Structure 1
Amino acid sequence: VRQHPVAARSCGFGERDRRVIDPPPIIQVLIDDPQIPDPERQRILRYPWGVMHCTIWSEDGQRDCSGMQDDFRTNKRLMGTPVSSPFVGFDDKGEEGCFYCFPDLSVRTPGAFRLHFSLAILDPSMQKNVPVVAGVMSDVFRVYNAKDFPGMQASTALTKTLKKQGCLISIKK
Protein backbone atom coordinates (compact mmCIF):
# COMPACT_ATOMS: atom_id res chain seq x y z
CA VAL A 1 0.00 0.00 0.00
CA ARG A 2 1.67 3.17 -1.17
CA GLN A 3 -0.81 5.59 0.46
CA HIS A 4 -2.80 4.32 3.44
CA PRO A 5 -6.21 5.71 4.42
CA VAL A 6 -6.12 7.72 7.66
CA ALA A 7 -9.61 9.05 8.39
CA ALA A 8 -13.12 9.45 7.05
CA ARG A 9 -16.38 11.04 8.07
CA SER A 10 -19.25 8.56 8.22
CA CYS A 11 -21.85 9.27 5.58
CA GLY A 12 -24.88 7.39 6.89
CA PHE A 13 -27.35 6.04 4.37
CA GLY A 14 -27.89 9.11 2.18
CA GLU A 15 -26.10 9.74 -1.09
CA ARG A 16 -26.08 13.54 -0.63
CA ASP A 17 -23.78 13.80 2.36
CA ARG A 18 -21.08 11.41 1.17
CA ARG A 19 -17.48 12.14 2.22
CA VAL A 20 -14.54 10.20 0.81
CA ILE A 21 -11.80 8.42 2.75
CA ASP A 22 -8.78 10.70 3.30
CA PRO A 23 -6.23 10.41 1.83
CA PRO A 24 -7.41 8.30 -1.10
CA PRO A 25 -5.84 4.83 -0.88
CA ILE A 26 -3.20 4.19 -3.55
CA ILE A 27 -1.75 0.73 -4.17
CA GLN A 28 1.46 0.24 -6.17
CA VAL A 29 2.13 -3.10 -7.84
CA LEU A 30 5.68 -4.34 -7.28
CA ILE A 31 7.29 -7.44 -8.79
CA ASP A 32 9.99 -8.75 -6.47
CA ASP A 33 10.95 -11.91 -8.37
CA PRO A 34 14.64 -11.60 -9.39
CA GLN A 35 14.09 -14.34 -12.00
CA ILE A 36 11.92 -12.02 -14.09
CA PRO A 37 14.07 -9.90 -16.43
CA ASP A 38 13.43 -6.15 -16.51
CA PRO A 39 11.78 -6.06 -19.99
CA GLU A 40 9.31 -8.74 -18.89
CA ARG A 41 8.68 -6.90 -15.61
CA GLN A 42 7.88 -3.71 -17.54
CA ARG A 43 5.50 -5.62 -19.83
CA ILE A 44 3.67 -7.12 -16.85
CA LEU A 45 3.32 -3.74 -15.12
CA ARG A 46 1.82 -2.26 -18.30
CA TYR A 47 -0.67 -5.09 -18.84
CA PRO A 48 -4.02 -3.25 -19.21
CA TRP A 49 -6.30 -6.03 -17.98
CA GLY A 50 -5.50 -5.86 -14.28
CA VAL A 51 -8.31 -4.92 -11.93
CA MET A 52 -8.16 -4.29 -8.20
CA HIS A 53 -11.12 -4.65 -5.84
CA CYS A 54 -11.47 -3.14 -2.36
CA THR A 55 -13.45 -4.45 0.63
CA ILE A 56 -13.71 -3.16 4.19
CA TRP A 57 -12.53 -5.30 7.11
CA SER A 58 -12.45 -5.21 10.90
CA GLU A 59 -9.67 -3.40 12.74
CA ASP A 60 -7.85 -6.68 13.39
CA GLY A 61 -8.15 -7.73 9.73
CA GLN A 62 -9.97 -10.96 10.61
CA ARG A 63 -13.56 -10.21 9.51
CA ASP A 64 -15.05 -8.85 6.30
CA CYS A 65 -17.33 -5.95 7.35
CA SER A 66 -18.72 -5.18 3.88
CA GLY A 67 -22.31 -6.19 4.63
CA MET A 68 -24.52 -4.67 7.32
CA GLN A 69 -27.55 -6.74 8.28
CA ASP A 70 -30.65 -4.57 8.80
CA ASP A 71 -33.80 -6.59 9.57
CA PHE A 72 -34.75 -7.84 6.10
CA ARG A 73 -32.07 -6.48 3.81
CA THR A 74 -28.31 -6.14 3.64
CA ASN A 75 -26.68 -2.76 3.09
CA LYS A 76 -23.09 -2.21 2.10
CA ARG A 77 -20.85 -0.43 4.60
CA LEU A 78 -18.44 0.75 1.89
CA MET A 79 -19.93 3.11 -0.70
CA GLY A 80 -18.51 4.50 -3.92
CA THR A 81 -16.28 2.82 -6.48
CA PRO A 82 -14.57 -0.25 -4.99
CA VAL A 83 -12.74 -1.21 -8.20
CA SER A 84 -9.79 0.38 -9.97
CA SER A 85 -7.90 -0.14 -13.20
CA PRO A 86 -4.13 0.34 -13.53
CA PHE A 87 -2.51 3.75 -13.96
CA VAL A 88 1.11 3.68 -15.12
CA GLY A 89 2.97 6.87 -14.27
CA PHE A 90 5.70 8.43 -12.18
CA ASP A 91 5.48 8.86 -8.42
CA ASP A 92 6.52 11.93 -6.42
CA LYS A 93 10.15 10.73 -6.47
CA GLY A 94 10.22 10.35 -10.27
CA GLU A 95 10.06 6.54 -10.22
CA GLU A 96 7.80 4.82 -12.73
CA GLY A 97 5.17 2.50 -11.33
CA CYS A 98 1.80 0.85 -11.77
CA PHE A 99 -0.78 2.35 -9.40
CA TYR A 100 -4.37 1.52 -8.46
CA CYS A 101 -6.15 4.54 -6.97
CA PHE A 102 -9.38 4.60 -4.95
CA PRO A 103 -10.54 8.25 -4.80
CA ASP A 104 -14.28 7.51 -4.41
CA LEU A 105 -14.72 5.40 -1.28
CA SER A 106 -16.95 6.34 1.66
CA VAL A 107 -17.95 4.49 4.82
CA ARG A 108 -21.49 4.56 6.22
CA THR A 109 -20.75 3.91 9.91
CA PRO A 110 -18.17 5.12 12.45
CA GLY A 111 -15.49 2.81 13.79
CA ALA A 112 -11.98 1.53 13.15
CA PHE A 113 -11.46 -0.45 9.94
CA ARG A 114 -8.92 -1.67 7.41
CA LEU A 115 -9.25 -1.97 3.65
CA HIS A 116 -8.35 -5.15 1.79
CA PHE A 117 -7.25 -4.87 -1.85
CA SER A 118 -7.33 -7.86 -4.22
CA LEU A 119 -5.61 -7.84 -7.62
CA ALA A 120 -7.02 -9.99 -10.42
CA ILE A 121 -5.72 -10.29 -13.96
CA LEU A 122 -8.45 -10.57 -16.56
CA ASP A 123 -7.67 -12.96 -19.38
CA PRO A 124 -10.10 -12.95 -22.33
CA SER A 125 -9.27 -16.62 -23.02
CA MET A 126 -10.49 -17.68 -19.56
CA GLN A 127 -14.27 -17.76 -19.64
CA LYS A 128 -15.20 -18.58 -16.05
CA ASN A 129 -12.65 -18.05 -13.30
CA VAL A 130 -10.60 -14.93 -12.69
CA PRO A 131 -7.90 -15.75 -10.12
CA VAL A 132 -6.81 -13.26 -7.48
CA VAL A 133 -3.04 -13.00 -7.93
CA ALA A 134 -2.20 -10.71 -5.00
CA GLY A 135 -3.78 -9.07 -1.98
CA VAL A 136 -2.79 -6.52 0.62
CA MET A 137 -4.37 -4.96 3.72
CA SER A 138 -4.19 -1.28 4.64
CA ASP A 139 -3.27 0.10 8.02
CA VAL A 140 -6.15 0.79 10.42
CA PHE A 141 -8.07 4.00 9.75
CA ARG A 142 -10.78 5.71 11.77
CA VAL A 143 -14.27 6.68 10.60
CA TYR A 144 -15.74 9.53 12.67
CA ASN A 145 -19.21 10.90 13.31
CA ALA A 146 -19.74 14.31 11.69
CA LYS A 147 -19.23 16.24 14.95
CA ASP A 148 -15.95 14.45 15.77
CA PHE A 149 -14.36 14.43 12.30
CA PRO A 150 -11.04 16.34 12.40
CA GLY A 151 -11.36 17.47 8.75
CA MET A 152 -9.70 16.66 5.45
CA GLN A 153 -5.94 16.98 5.09
CA ALA A 154 -4.20 18.66 2.16
CA SER A 155 -3.47 16.33 -0.75
CA THR A 156 -0.21 14.40 -0.56
CA ALA A 157 2.69 14.86 -2.98
CA LEU A 158 1.93 11.43 -4.48
CA THR A 159 -1.73 12.33 -5.12
CA LYS A 160 -0.77 15.65 -6.74
CA THR A 161 1.91 14.03 -8.91
CA LEU A 162 -0.42 11.31 -10.22
CA LYS A 163 -3.18 13.90 -10.86
CA LYS A 164 -0.80 16.01 -12.99
CA GLN A 165 -0.18 12.97 -15.19
CA GLY A 166 -3.88 12.36 -15.82
CA CYS A 167 -4.90 10.04 -13.00
CA LEU A 168 -8.56 10.59 -12.10
CA ILE A 169 -8.11 11.66 -8.49
CA SER A 170 -9.29 14.78 -6.63
CA ILE A 171 -6.92 17.34 -5.14
CA LYS A 172 -7.52 19.16 -1.84
CA LYS A 173 -5.80 22.44 -0.99
Structure 2
Amino acid sequence: MAQHPIRARMCGFGEKDRRPLDPPPVVRLRVRDDNGEFMQSEDVEIWKFVVSATLWAPHTDSDRSIVVNPNTLPGPVPTYQSTSAVMSLSEPVKVRNLVGTTVSNAYLLKDENDEMNIFFIFHDLSVRTEGRFRLKFQFTVIPSEETPRAFVESVTWSTPFDVYSAKSFPGMTDSTELSRAFAAQGIKITIRKNSRVRPYSARIGGNPDDDRYPDDEYDNEVDMDYPASGSGHGIR
Protein backbone atom coordinates (compact mmCIF):
# COMPACT_ATOMS: atom_id res chain seq x y z
CA MET A 1 0.00 0.00 0.00
CA ALA A 2 1.27 3.42 -0.88
CA GLN A 3 -1.37 4.95 1.42
CA HIS A 4 -3.58 3.23 3.99
CA PRO A 5 -6.98 4.54 5.12
CA ILE A 6 -7.12 5.43 8.82
CA ARG A 7 -10.74 6.27 9.57
CA ALA A 8 -14.05 7.51 8.22
CA ARG A 9 -17.49 8.61 9.29
CA MET A 10 -20.20 6.12 8.33
CA CYS A 11 -22.29 7.35 5.41
CA GLY A 12 -25.49 5.49 6.32
CA PHE A 13 -28.10 4.23 3.88
CA GLY A 14 -28.98 7.43 2.05
CA GLU A 15 -28.05 7.72 -1.60
CA LYS A 16 -26.48 11.18 -1.49
CA ASP A 17 -24.45 11.24 1.73
CA ARG A 18 -20.80 10.31 1.13
CA ARG A 19 -18.08 10.28 3.77
CA PRO A 20 -14.86 9.20 2.04
CA LEU A 21 -12.19 7.11 3.73
CA ASP A 22 -9.44 9.28 5.14
CA PRO A 23 -6.85 9.37 3.72
CA PRO A 24 -7.82 7.97 0.31
CA PRO A 25 -6.43 4.44 -0.20
CA VAL A 26 -3.67 4.27 -2.82
CA VAL A 27 -2.00 1.18 -4.26
CA ARG A 28 1.37 1.28 -6.05
CA LEU A 29 2.29 -1.11 -8.87
CA ARG A 30 5.86 -2.21 -9.53
CA VAL A 31 6.65 -4.27 -12.63
CA ARG A 32 9.46 -6.80 -13.05
CA ASP A 33 10.92 -7.86 -16.39
CA ASP A 34 11.71 -11.45 -17.42
CA ASN A 35 14.97 -11.26 -15.46
CA GLY A 36 13.22 -10.24 -12.26
CA GLU A 37 14.49 -6.68 -12.38
CA PHE A 38 12.19 -3.73 -11.68
CA MET A 39 11.27 -1.81 -14.82
CA GLN A 40 10.97 1.96 -15.13
CA SER A 41 7.32 2.88 -14.68
CA GLU A 42 7.42 5.01 -17.83
CA ASP A 43 8.26 1.90 -19.90
CA VAL A 44 5.18 -0.05 -18.80
CA GLU A 45 1.96 -0.15 -20.84
CA ILE A 46 -0.59 0.53 -18.13
CA TRP A 47 -3.83 0.93 -20.09
CA LYS A 48 -5.04 -2.64 -19.42
CA PHE A 49 -4.33 -2.69 -15.66
CA VAL A 50 -7.15 -2.36 -13.08
CA VAL A 51 -7.47 -2.86 -9.33
CA SER A 52 -10.76 -3.53 -7.52
CA ALA A 53 -11.53 -3.01 -3.82
CA THR A 54 -13.78 -4.99 -1.49
CA LEU A 55 -14.55 -4.60 2.22
CA TRP A 56 -13.57 -7.27 4.75
CA ALA A 57 -13.44 -7.95 8.48
CA PRO A 58 -10.21 -6.71 10.12
CA HIS A 59 -8.61 -10.03 11.06
CA THR A 60 -10.56 -12.79 9.28
CA ASP A 61 -11.40 -13.71 5.70
CA SER A 62 -14.99 -12.56 6.11
CA ASP A 63 -16.44 -10.37 3.36
CA ARG A 64 -18.25 -7.26 4.62
CA SER A 65 -19.10 -5.74 1.24
CA ILE A 66 -22.84 -6.47 1.53
CA VAL A 67 -25.16 -5.43 4.35
CA VAL A 68 -28.92 -5.49 4.97
CA ASN A 69 -30.59 -2.10 4.76
CA PRO A 70 -32.21 -1.71 8.21
CA ASN A 71 -34.94 0.45 6.69
CA THR A 72 -36.28 -2.65 4.91
CA LEU A 73 -36.49 -4.85 8.02
CA PRO A 74 -39.99 -5.66 9.30
CA GLY A 75 -41.09 -3.43 12.14
CA PRO A 76 -43.25 -4.27 15.15
CA VAL A 77 -46.51 -5.91 14.06
CA PRO A 78 -49.73 -4.29 15.38
CA THR A 79 -51.98 -6.68 17.29
CA TYR A 80 -54.78 -6.26 14.76
CA GLN A 81 -52.66 -7.63 11.88
CA SER A 82 -52.94 -11.30 11.05
CA THR A 83 -50.04 -13.71 10.61
CA SER A 84 -50.72 -13.89 6.88
CA ALA A 85 -50.18 -10.13 6.61
CA VAL A 86 -46.80 -10.47 8.27
CA MET A 87 -45.74 -13.27 5.94
CA SER A 88 -46.51 -11.08 2.91
CA LEU A 89 -43.89 -8.51 3.85
CA SER A 90 -41.07 -8.08 1.34
CA GLU A 91 -37.68 -9.63 2.01
CA PRO A 92 -35.05 -7.33 3.55
CA VAL A 93 -32.99 -5.58 0.89
CA LYS A 94 -29.25 -6.17 0.75
CA VAL A 95 -27.06 -3.30 -0.42
CA ARG A 96 -23.38 -2.58 -0.86
CA ASN A 97 -21.66 -1.66 2.38
CA LEU A 98 -18.68 -0.26 0.48
CA VAL A 99 -19.93 2.48 -1.82
CA GLY A 100 -18.25 4.75 -4.32
CA THR A 101 -15.87 3.89 -7.14
CA THR A 102 -14.53 0.45 -6.20
CA VAL A 103 -12.43 -0.04 -9.35
CA SER A 104 -9.46 2.11 -10.36
CA ASN A 105 -7.52 2.31 -13.60
CA ALA A 106 -3.76 2.80 -13.47
CA TYR A 107 -2.25 6.28 -13.28
CA LEU A 108 1.34 7.21 -14.11
CA LEU A 109 2.11 9.93 -11.55
CA LYS A 110 4.89 11.46 -9.49
CA ASP A 111 4.79 10.70 -5.77
CA GLU A 112 5.65 13.03 -2.88
CA ASN A 113 9.35 12.47 -3.62
CA ASP A 114 8.92 13.51 -7.26
CA GLU A 115 9.48 9.92 -8.41
CA MET A 116 7.36 8.47 -11.22
CA ASN A 117 5.27 5.44 -10.27
CA ILE A 118 2.13 3.56 -11.29
CA PHE A 119 -0.76 4.14 -8.88
CA PHE A 120 -4.36 3.06 -8.36
CA ILE A 121 -6.32 5.72 -6.46
CA PHE A 122 -9.60 5.18 -4.56
CA HIS A 123 -10.62 8.75 -3.75
CA ASP A 124 -14.34 8.36 -3.00
CA LEU A 125 -14.84 5.09 -1.11
CA SER A 126 -17.32 5.25 1.78
CA VAL A 127 -18.66 2.69 4.25
CA ARG A 128 -22.32 2.63 5.27
CA THR A 129 -21.96 1.04 8.70
CA GLU A 130 -19.98 1.61 11.86
CA GLY A 131 -17.17 -0.81 12.74
CA ARG A 132 -13.60 -1.90 12.08
CA PHE A 133 -12.68 -3.08 8.60
CA ARG A 134 -9.89 -3.55 6.08
CA LEU A 135 -9.80 -3.38 2.30
CA LYS A 136 -8.83 -6.15 -0.09
CA PHE A 137 -7.34 -5.03 -3.41
CA GLN A 138 -7.22 -7.36 -6.41
CA PHE A 139 -5.06 -6.67 -9.45
CA THR A 140 -6.37 -7.76 -12.87
CA VAL A 141 -5.26 -7.36 -16.47
CA ILE A 142 -8.10 -6.52 -18.88
CA PRO A 143 -8.64 -9.41 -21.35
CA SER A 144 -7.35 -9.10 -24.91
CA GLU A 145 -7.15 -11.29 -28.00
CA GLU A 146 -3.87 -12.71 -26.72
CA THR A 147 -5.26 -13.36 -23.22
CA PRO A 148 -9.07 -13.64 -23.60
CA ARG A 149 -9.71 -14.48 -19.94
CA ALA A 150 -9.15 -12.25 -16.93
CA PHE A 151 -7.68 -13.57 -13.71
CA VAL A 152 -6.86 -12.05 -10.34
CA GLU A 153 -3.11 -11.76 -10.75
CA SER A 154 -2.31 -10.65 -7.21
CA VAL A 155 -3.87 -9.40 -3.97
CA THR A 156 -2.90 -6.94 -1.25
CA TRP A 157 -4.62 -5.66 1.90
CA SER A 158 -4.91 -2.39 3.74
CA THR A 159 -4.31 -2.17 7.46
CA PRO A 160 -7.50 -2.19 9.60
CA PHE A 161 -9.32 1.13 9.93
CA ASP A 162 -12.26 2.41 11.96
CA VAL A 163 -15.59 3.71 10.70
CA TYR A 164 -17.37 5.86 13.28
CA SER A 165 -20.92 6.93 13.88
CA ALA A 166 -21.72 10.58 13.25
CA LYS A 167 -21.71 11.28 16.99
CA SER A 168 -18.38 9.64 17.78
CA PHE A 169 -16.41 10.59 14.65
CA PRO A 170 -13.23 12.45 15.75
CA GLY A 171 -12.84 14.39 12.48
CA MET A 172 -10.74 14.25 9.35
CA THR A 173 -6.95 14.23 9.33
CA ASP A 174 -4.57 16.52 7.47
CA SER A 175 -4.10 15.72 3.79
CA THR A 176 -0.99 13.63 3.17
CA GLU A 177 1.93 14.73 1.05
CA LEU A 178 1.09 11.96 -1.42
CA SER A 179 -2.49 13.22 -1.81
CA ARG A 180 -1.21 16.76 -2.31
CA ALA A 181 1.23 15.53 -4.97
CA PHE A 182 -1.63 13.84 -6.84
CA ALA A 183 -3.85 16.93 -6.60
CA ALA A 184 -1.06 19.09 -8.03
CA GLN A 185 -1.04 16.78 -11.07
CA GLY A 186 -4.76 17.17 -11.68
CA ILE A 187 -6.13 14.13 -9.86
CA LYS A 188 -9.58 14.62 -8.31
CA ILE A 189 -8.83 14.06 -4.64
CA THR A 190 -9.85 15.72 -1.38
CA ILE A 191 -7.30 18.23 -0.06
CA ARG A 192 -7.67 19.90 3.35
CA LYS A 193 -5.87 23.00 4.52
CA ASN A 194 -6.13 21.94 8.17
CA SER A 195 -7.11 18.83 10.10
CA ARG A 196 -10.75 18.69 11.12
CA VAL A 197 -10.75 17.35 14.67
CA ARG A 198 -14.07 17.86 16.42
CA PRO A 199 -14.05 18.92 20.06
CA TYR A 200 -14.78 16.15 22.53
CA SER A 201 -17.85 18.01 23.81
CA ALA A 202 -19.29 18.06 20.31
CA ARG A 203 -18.76 14.31 19.96
CA ILE A 204 -20.46 13.37 23.24
CA GLY A 205 -23.32 15.85 23.39
CA GLY A 206 -23.49 18.09 20.37
CA ASN A 207 -25.31 17.83 17.10
CA PRO A 208 -23.47 15.22 14.96
CA ASP A 209 -24.41 17.16 11.84
CA ASP A 210 -23.31 20.55 13.19
CA ASP A 211 -21.90 22.49 10.22
CA ARG A 212 -19.32 24.17 12.46
CA TYR A 213 -17.26 21.02 12.11
CA PRO A 214 -17.27 20.16 8.40
CA ASP A 215 -15.63 16.89 7.49
CA ASP A 216 -13.58 18.15 4.60
CA GLU A 217 -12.53 21.10 2.52
CA TYR A 218 -11.72 20.94 -1.16
CA ASP A 219 -8.89 22.74 -2.90
CA ASN A 220 -9.55 20.65 -6.06
CA GLU A 221 -11.09 17.57 -5.83
CA VAL A 222 -0.10 -0.69 -1.33
CA ASP A 223 2.72 -1.61 -2.92
CA MET A 224 2.21 -3.97 -5.84
CA ASP A 225 4.79 -6.01 -7.73
CA TYR A 226 3.82 -7.10 -11.25
CA PRO A 227 6.32 -8.99 -13.39
CA ALA A 228 6.11 -8.25 -17.11
CA SER A 229 5.76 -10.84 -19.91
CA GLY A 230 4.07 -13.43 -17.75
CA SER A 231 7.05 -14.00 -15.46
CA GLY A 232 4.83 -13.95 -12.38
CA HIS A 233 2.63 -11.41 -10.63
CA GLY A 234 2.87 -10.04 -7.14
CA ILE A 235 1.52 -7.18 -5.04
CA ARG A 236 2.25 -6.15 -1.55
Task: Report the TM-score, using the length of structure 2 for normalisation.
Answer: 0.67
Mind listing any 5+ residue stretches in structure 2 that lack a counterpart?
A: 70-90, 194-236
User: How many pairs were matched up?
Assistant: 172
Q: Does 1:9 align with 2:29?
A: no
Kept in 1: contact 2:48–2:141 (CA 8 A): yes
State the 1:53 CA deviation.
0.3
Q: Does 1:142 align with 2:162?
A: yes
Amino acid at match of 2:139: L
- Which residue of structure 2 lines up, in the alignment, with residue 109 of structure 1? 129
Amino acid at match of 1:77: N
- Which residue of structure 2 lines up, in the alignment, with residue 68 of structure 1? 67
CA distance in 1, matches of 2:92, 2:129: 19
CA distance in 2, matches of 1:136, 1:39: 20
Q: Where in structure 2 are the equivalents of 1:1-173 lying within 5 Å?
A: 1-31=1-31, 35-36=35-36, 42-44=42-44, 46-69=45-68, 71-125=91-145, 129-173=149-193
Amino acid at match of 1:18: R
Kept in 1: contact 2:6–2:21 (CA 8 A): yes
State the 1:16 CA deviation.
2.8
| Deviation by residue 1:117-167 (Cα, 9 ceiling, x = unmatched) | 111011321686311111100000000000110111121000000111122
The structure with more strand, counted as a fraction of residues: 1
Kept in 1: contact 2:41–2:116 (CA 8 A): no
What is the aligned-residue RMSD (CA, Å)? 2.1
Identity of aligned residues (%): 36
Mind listing any 5+ residue stretches in structure 1 that lack a counterpart?
A: none
CA distance in 1, matches of 2:146, 2:7: 39
Task: Report the TM-score, using the length of structure 1 for normalisation.
Answer: 0.90
1:35–1:61 distance in 2 versus 1, CA, 3 Å: farther
Give 1 or 2 for the bigger CA radius of gyration. Answer: 2
